[in-house]
Amino acid sequence: MAQIAFIGLGNMGGPMALNLIKAGHTLSVFDLNPAALDNAKQGGAKVANSPEEAVREADFVISMLPSSPHVESLYIEKNLFQSIKKGALIADCSTIAPDSARKVAKAANEQGFEMVDAPVSGGVGGAQAGTLTFIVGGSPAAFEKIKPILSAMGKNIFHAGDSGTGQVAKICNNMLLAIHMIGTSEALNLGVNCGIDPKTLSEIMKVSSGRNWSLEVYNPLPGVMENVPASKNYSGGFGVDLMAKDLGLSQEAAISSRTSTPLGSLALSLYRAHSRNGSGKLDFSSILQFLKGSS
Ligand code: NAD
């Protein structure tokens, strides 16, 4: 069993760290939020007072932070590499810009470390159940080394290619997720306004050609499905601001690769407007409330 440092214990990182402990690994953790640290401590993690202290003895360093500036600040500006044990493998699971992932991995290489980008899909439910999909960008050797560790937190572990390609796959996936969440919300709202029961409409569309993940496991209309953010006042889950961040990353990639992504661009505008209305911290399925005109 391995000695692992875990930095960033939010909605995703918290349950991911607990699954590593359940698999028998020893965890040293750090987060800026004391409540997140308390939770990890109760689950059996050793709480460190700084990221430097967390990584000192670790064979694997895993980070799960909000966005590119957080990741670059931790590894490059604060030069966390200086405190990491020789031979340790670093995996950043945050969703960040592919160029940022490549920049941090290059900085790691220059200081003698292998680093992979390993963003995830599957939401908070997947993080809790240990069924996440990991999409890894890095060398084949680093992929083979990190795979058994990621397997304690996920069900599908993919090697996407070289450094940064994990993030490329992730932002393509999330652009599509935003588009089908907006489409699902639009269809449900139309159905309700035209007089059909939303549960009935959802059951019909789930086995018809409109079926998709948002409809099957993450219904955006409150009360249709139990235990989804929509039925908990859009709390927990994947925040509107994080979705807007990912859509921004996909649009940056579209511009730099001269790719036409009209629905991705529209999805970004809608999520930005929803966030500006004060809904940035709500789960992203709350876009349905925006379409209803009630946010
Ligand atoms: P979150 O905001 O709930 O958690 C982020 C955590 O990082 C917080 O606990 C925060 O205190 C901590 N943090 C920030 N800066 C730090 C620092 N310098 N040192 C230590 N801790 C620091 O976010 P989340 O929902 O857990 O998402 C994390 C990442 O995973 C994001 O990149 C997101 O896009 C991605 N993601 C989220 C979901 C989801 O459903 N929530 C799904 C897939 C991917």
- Which pLDDT tens digit goes with each residue over 175-228? 999 999 999 999 999 999 999 999 999 999 999 999 999 999 999 999 999 999
Work out the average pLDDT over 249-275: 97
Predicted local confidence at residue 135, as pLDDT? 98
Q: Are 138 and 117 in contact (CB under 8 A)?
A: yes
Q: 9 CB less than 6 Å from ligand 1?
A: yes
> How far away, in angstroms, is 237 Cα from ligand 1 center?
11
Predicted local confidence at residue 270, as pLDDT? 98
Given a cut of 80, whether residue 295 has pLDDT beyond it is no
Choosing from 65, 71, 250 the residue with most ligand 1 atoms within 8 A of its CB, the one to mutate for a pocket test is: 65
Q: 10 CB less than 6 Å from ligand 1?
A: yes
- Which pLDDT tens digit goes with each residue over 30-70? 999 999 999 999 999 999 999 999 999 999 999 999 999 99
Choosing from 242, 281, 282 the residue with most ligand 1 atoms within 8 A of its CB, the one to mutate for a pocket test is: 242
Predicted local confidence at residue 245, as pLDDT? 95
For atom 1 of ligand 1, which residue has the closest CA? 10
pTM of this prediction?
0.93
Given a cut of 90, whether residue 20 has pLDDT beyond it is yes
Predicted local confidence at residue 274, as pLDDT? 98
Q: How confident is the model at residue 294 (pLDDT cuts 50, 70, 90)?
A: confident
> How far away, in angstroms, is 70 Cα from ligand 1 center?
10
The minimum-distance atom of ligand 1 relative to the CA of 121 is 43
> Of 170, 199, 281, 292, which is the active-site residue?
170
Predicted local confidence at residue 236, as pLDDT? 86
Average pLDDT, the chain: 97
Predicted local confidence at residue 158, as pLDDT? 98
> How far away, in angstroms, is 7 Cα from ligand 1 center?
10
Q: Are 88 and 113 in contact (CB under 8 A)?
A: yes
| 170 a catalytic residue | yes
Q: What percent of the chain has pLDDT over 70?
A: 100
Predicted local confidence at residue 221, as pLDDT? 97
In three state form, how does the secondary structure of the chain look? CCEEEEECCCCCHHHHHHHHHHCCCEEEEECCCHHHHHHHHHCCCEECCCHHHHHCCCCEEEECCCCHHHHHHHHHHCCHHHHCCCCCEEEECCCCCHHHHHHHHHHHHHCCCEEEECCEECHHHHHHHCCEEEEEECCHHHHHHHHHHHCCCEEEEEEEECCCHHHHHHHHHHHHHHHHHHHHHHHHHHHHHCCCCHHHHHHHHHCCCCCCHHHHHCCCCCCCCCCCHHHHCCCCCCEHHHHHHHHHHHHHHHHHCCCCCHHHHHHHHHHHHHHHHHHCCCEHHHHHHHHHCCC
Work out the average pLDDT over 8-22: 97
- Which pLDDT tens digit goes with each residue over 120-149? 999 899 999 999 999 999 999 999 999 999
